[in-house]
Amino acid sequence: GCDVTVNNVNVPSTEMTSILITKGQGYVYFFSMATSFTKAALGAEGVGKDINLIVGNGYAKGHANLTLNIIRESKDIRELFEKLYV
């Protein structure tokens, strides 16, 4: 199993897959609006998994400045960004 599992799939009912592949005392990070936290909590309890369930909200202090600085400082990333979005 995995020590850390990150679930960012925008598809419902993937909670148990993440829980089942995570080792006991491991961590599952959920970063998706499709996540049912009721399914995750009750599912982990139902299969007897003592794991840490963490809900990510997508916010990190300073994220906007960090992103802009990466685009400003990296020619390759800036060119890719411009190709995809400009």
pLDDT, tens digit, 9 for 90 and up, residues 63-81:
999 999 999 999 999 999 9
The answer to whether 54 and 27 are in contact (CB under 8 A) is yes
Residue 80, CA distances (Å) to 57, 64, 66, 68 in order? 27, 18, 17, 14
* DSSP H or E segment with residue 26: strand 22-30
**54 beta partners:** 29
Q: What parts of the chain have a pLDDT lower than 50?
A: none
Q: What is the pLDDT of residue 58?
A: 75
d(CA 78, CA 57): 26
Q: What is the pLDDT of residue 57?
A: 81
Domain ranges of the chain: 1-55, 59-86
**Residue written as token pair 């009912």:** 13
